[in-house]
Amino acid sequence: MQITEIRPDELNPKEFIWEKVQEIADAVGDGTAVNALSGGVDSSTVTMLGHKALGPRLKTYFVNNGIMREGEPERVVSLFRSLGVHVELVDAQDEFFKALAGILDPEEKREAITQTFYKTVFGRLVKKSRARFLLQGTIYTDVEETVAGVKRQHNVLAQLGIDTKKRYGYTLLEPLIQLRKPAVRMVAKALGLPKEVWNRPPFPGPALVARVVGPVTREKIALVRKAQAIVEEELAGVKAFQCLAILHEDKVTGVRAGKREFGHQIEVRCWDSKDATTATPTRLPWSVLERLADRITSEVPGVVSVTYHVAKKPPSTIEAV
């Protein structure tokens, strides 16, 4: 890799912010830039850097792709509004579900999300805004995993030899590309973002699609969204790197109220990890697991089986897709 990492012990967040704000302002000149905010640490940090550099000449969009967690679009838009950043909510749910229809292969799902996001939806927004720059929160680990061929991160383009100017009509600016997550969190904190943002557990770009094995439908996303909300509620007090619910493709036989029910399986994963490159399942108390199983089988329609994942990464990965 050509990019040099800036490690947390080498990082001076205030200086870094000053430098990046200058770089963004210089690159964009008197033009305009756009960026997509998802509410994650990376895109939130980039939004604040861009806002500092460009003020209203940065147009920030929140693309509702239909695959986010419960209440996420509204929560993120109102948080940034309270920080003085105007965010436009774009409803692109139909386009994403159409692009995902019938796809089984994990990498193809990721590719469908990438294309829908960068070409269909963002291509249109950039054209409408007449911006020539796209600010994006790609971080060092995204590039590393994609280049190593572990998992294609949805936001890595340039390092795969994709010329965004030629293909999509805009130039990418990636101010966080030298940082891993812990360093990004330091910058986010120094930018004055609230703890709920800088301390937020990671959530993948392909969102709940990374948690549906097999074909993705609105109904399946709705199921895994409910299960994810329960996992987050029940495990809120657990010190873990990331906790997630996965919906399996295969159904299994269950029994409810004395009747056979051929139903869904949810797998719960909860990880201890430093930087996601390796990870170990959290040793959750049995009572916590039992409560999770009880709530998921009674609150998520059609779920008759709940399992807990115990294999390490590697050879597992954190997400299932």
β-sheet with 33-36: strand ranges across: 87-91, 58-64, 33-36, 133-135, 171-173
Number of residues engaging ligand XMP in binding (CB under 6 A): 17
Query: What are the backbone angles phi and psi of residue 42, rounded to the nearest 5°?
Result: -65, -50
Which of positions 188-207 make contact with ligand XMP (CB under 6 A)?
A: 202, 204-206
Nearer to ligand XMP, 119 or 132 (CB): 119
Which helix H or strand E contains 127, and what residues bound it? helix 122-129
Residue from 151, 225, 226, 264 binding ligand XMP (CB under 6 A): 151
Q: Least separation, in Å, of the C-beta of 148 and ligand XMP?
A: 10
Angle between helices 106-115 and 93-100 (to 10 degrees): 150
- Asked whether 137 and 45 are in contact (CB, 8 A), the reply is yes
Using CB under 6 A as the binding rule, whether residue 307 contacts ligand XMP is answered as no
Any contact of residue 154 with ligand XMP (CB under 6 A)? yes
**144 part of the interface to ligand XMP, by CB under 6 A:** no
How far apart are CB 212 and ligand XMP at their closest, in Å? 14
Alpha carbons 205 and 117: distance in angstroms, whole number: 11
Per CB under 6 A, does 106 bind ligand XMP? Answer: no
Piece of the chain touching ligand XMP by CB under 6 A; list 70-78, 90-98, 143-151, 163-171: 143-151
CA distances from 215 to 93, 99, 227 (A): 16, 11, 18
Stated as kind and residue range, the H or E segment containing 264 is strand 259-272
Site string for ligand XMP, 76-95 (x = CB under 6 A): --------------------
Name the site residues for ligand XMP (rule: CB under 6 A).
110, 145, 150-151, 153-154, 202, 204-206, 210, 242, 276, 313, 317-319
